[in-house]
A and B are shown apart, each in its own frame.
Chain A
């Protein structure tokens, strides 16, 4: 396992101390008499990773299907129609095909790095995904540095991409890898700085806490409406996220018409699908971050209503003092989780819409945009938001 996964496991393990890891507690109650504690911890961590992997696969499969349908309808055609209702099983058919394909490694490639690169890319995104809160009371890892963790992990995928480009021993892949490196370096800064704006308002990097803070105004107390610098910051964040996830119009690392398939040129079969999965998982995570920090996260009037009606606490102290599952609150958590999912997929839809509409920008234009426009503008937003908040505090106390 890579350091990324180890870190994810660690942060999952940290939860045990705070007593909110219901899964582990249940495990201890059931098997504590038979197995040592470390085995239970490991079991809980492995199960968590398996669930995250499953979630990523599901999201990637659904996104691929969605992408093909969106592309189809934008382009006056239907997209997949044959496998299942409106082709909804298409991704599974594709997955089977990819699994059955011959695993090709070019003769002159660096075999170790070539095989390691897709694994690293996937591991990094799985680790990042651990910070995604499923519902207010259901999460893999309640990381206090959530945003920081997600950004750090998703930029680790860049290392995998550069590795893949170099190891393939092809000129086109090296071009793709270098473009990816340059692009991520250029866009990581505006991405982080633009995210600082809501983080500053929230006062926390924890995704779940940030979401909870937006529950005012009957579920419409989104950070987006709390500060005039939020909307520009959101736009900047979204543009930077497009570049970060290699999506059009910033899909230079894999620019099909220029670099054949960029860093993925020599990959095929299941290894190629790892890169593919990473792309969609990264899109999802970036959209989820946007949803949590700009668009209210779990909160919507519907969530608020569900919370009022069903109650919000998923775990309550029972009569005996032990933590008990509060079944009544499940609908609230389901509504909240779905709200965040819908918001995240709205972001993904926007990314797809852009991809199938816009031409690709040139490499120097990407750099110009990142360094000359996005970074200064993001800094202006951050400073402006800070002054606004300080002024608000000074005036209103």
Chain B
């Protein structure tokens, strides 16, 4: 039964609202079952979607996961608290700083350790820079899915600098393990904050390029508007988070609504806004709205980084922790706003050196569930646009 597409459109409902008007598909032939992935240029990794197609019309779809399963959570129950940190890098490899942060916050909630102010601010700078990098990849590869190659490389041009910044602060370009339990690994090198400020200036100049080249490009709008519409109700039903839920017009951001670290303070300072889609180009909750949210969020992240740079203090960057970390017994859940949505870490400790239970709520995994419902009725080209707009990272759906 694993290869059955469970939700298939009955033939009588195969109507499609196209630019031409309503088109009835009335020539009946057997549906073509087609494996989209696991090796396919547009699956962003090794995801497989079993699609049923009637010509160019997708009549049913079933995502299959697990090709990249690495037992991350189980490993978390077998290695020491600190040793698990590098594994968090690997679930959403485009936002490793955020993953480190989520796990660290969860363990710190049990530890009750005081985090130095400087460490908190550096953490936020890193997390937001990484959010920009992640959205750049999401937006760039989405352009690639739609068929525009060049914006992707423009996005990577800025992301390259972002990675160089991280390389300077922690030596790694992709899997940082920089945000540690209790603070951050080490202080920023001299001149780093100035370079971050320069990055912010340059990014603000380059950002309109993405908007002009791709976001408001007429072909792009035609391809994404009114495609893959996720209504408000549907978004809530599926428990979507992050850019997906904001793309459906729901104003929900953990940085403001369940603040962690000093995001609450930054929000009260009015330093950043939360972009919520308004359905400007078509129905609310279409693919265009989701990409719009991502593009807008990059600029908001720049503002948060600027705020942190302005309020930077001197001091230690890691709290007082014993060499062998023993976490007091108890359980904690901390959800943070990852670039893709709510990344939740649930950890249980019995007071020992090793976690009893580590559980991760991956945003890509939860957001992926909606595919099965929005893919039927789309054209094959739309299906790629829809899958791209959910912005999944397979490392995280499979963990």
Contacts and interface: CB of A to CB of B under 8 A. Distances in A.
Report if A and B associate in a common complex.
yes
Contact of A76 (B154, B214, B384): B154
Given A363-B56, A368-B19, A357 B380 contact: no
Interface string B148-185: 11100110010000000000000000000000000000
Nearest to B383: A258
Contact of B32 (A74, A171, A248, A360): A171
A362 B222 contact: yes
B42 A361 contact: no
Interface string B306-342: 0000000000000000000000000000000000000
Contacts of A358: 147-148, 217, 219
Nearest to B35: A171
Interface stretch (A151-159, A209-217, A249-257): A249-257
Contacts of A257: 41-42, 144-147, 384
Contacts of A252: 381
B145 A362 contact: no
A77 B220 CA distance: 24
A94 B148 CA distance: 25
B71 interface: no
B42 A359 contact: no
Interface residues of B, number: 32
B219 A249 contact: yes
Contacts of A108: none
Interface string A368-387: 10001000000000000000
A368 B34 contact: no
Contact of A364 (B19, B32, B149, B214): B19
B223 interface: yes
The number of chain A residues touching the other chain, given as a range, is 20 to 34
A364 B25 CA distance: 13
A39 B32 CA distance: 54
Given A248-B147, A257-B41, A363 B380 contact: yes
A184 B166 CA distance: 50
A255 B143 contact: no
A258 B18 contact: no
Interface string A162-196: 00000000011001000000000000000000000
B217 to A, nearest CB: 6
Contacts of A76: 153-154, 157
6 contacts: A75-B154, A255-B381, A256-B41, A358-B148, A364-B18, A364-B56
| Among all A-B residue pairs, the 6 with the closest Cβ atoms | A360-B147, A359-B148, A75-B153, A359-B146, A257-B42, A362-B381
Interface of B: 18-20, 32, 34, 40-42, 56, 143-150, 153-154, 157, 213-214, 217, 219-220, 222-223, 379-382, 384
Interface of A: 71, 74-77, 171-172, 175, 248-249, 251-252, 255-260, 356-365, 368, 372
